[in-house]
């Protein structure tokens, strides 16, 4: 996703969420279905469990974002780490439903909302703080997804950024693209 200059906090936050969504999807796309349910050890979460947790968090935090506590009373966080979705299709439905809530809510916000107050678990946060909290949380878990996917793919992994040893080639390509746009 190319960088776009903006002075809009909401636009920048939305771009970051879209970037992490795409990063997770690109990692998951490289895996066989069975690998989505694999772990490295009994204490680790599978990608499917991470998705279930993210989806629960997204629904809770972003539904009625400006008007109700971000920890909804019907959320069972502990349950998010048990009984993963059974198929890639079920897992991706949770993923897409969660992101639809996040991105849909962000579309309703403007930069004038960033100083408003919302609550999460009864604690007041500015809208900006609440959004930053979620960006960090999602980046953390999507980093886990990428790490596990890369481990499972080993030598078949296709880099999601600049491949190792290819920085100079990447920089030449970017310079050439910039020159062609002038």
- What are the structural domains, with CATH classification, of the chain? 9-180 (1.20.120.450)
What's the pLDDT tens digit per position in 42-64? 999 999 999 999 999 999 999 99
Contact between residue 137 and residue 56 where contact means Cβ atoms under 8 Å apart: no
Coil, strand, or helix at residue 156?
Answer: helix
Residue 156 has pLDDT above 70, yes or no: yes
The pLDDT value given to residue 167: 86
The pLDDT value given to residue 179: 80
pTM (2 d.p.)? 0.90
- Is the model more confident about 4 or about 73? 73
Q: Among candidates 48, 43, 40, 3, which has minimal Cα distance to 24?
A: 48
Stretch 15-23: mean pLDDT, rounded? Answer: 98
Q: What is the largest CA-CA distance in the chain?
A: 54
């Amino acid at each position: 996703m190319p960088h776009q200059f903006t002075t809009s906090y909401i636009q920048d936050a939305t771009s970051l969420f879209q970037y992490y969504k795409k990063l997770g999807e690109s990692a998951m796309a490289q895996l066989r279905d069975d690998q989505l349910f694999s772990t490295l050890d009994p204490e680790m979460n599978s990608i499917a469990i991470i998705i279930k947790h993210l989806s629960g968090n997204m629904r809770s935090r972003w539904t009625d974002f400006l008007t109700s506590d971000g920890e909804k009373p019907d959320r069972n966080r502990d349950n998010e780490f048990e009984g993963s979705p059974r198929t890639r299709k079920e897992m991706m439905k949770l993923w897409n439903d969660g992101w639809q809530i996040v991105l849909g809510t962000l579309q309703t916000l403007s930069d004038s909302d960033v100083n408003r107050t919302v609550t999460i678990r009864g604690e007041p946060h500015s809208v900006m703080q609440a959004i930053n909290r979620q960006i960090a949380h999602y980046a953390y878990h999507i980093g886990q997804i990428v790490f596990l996917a890369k481990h499972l793919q080993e030598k078949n992994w296709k880099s999601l950024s600049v491949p190792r040893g290819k920085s100079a080639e990447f920089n030449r390509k970017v310079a050439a693209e910039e020159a062609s746009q002038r």
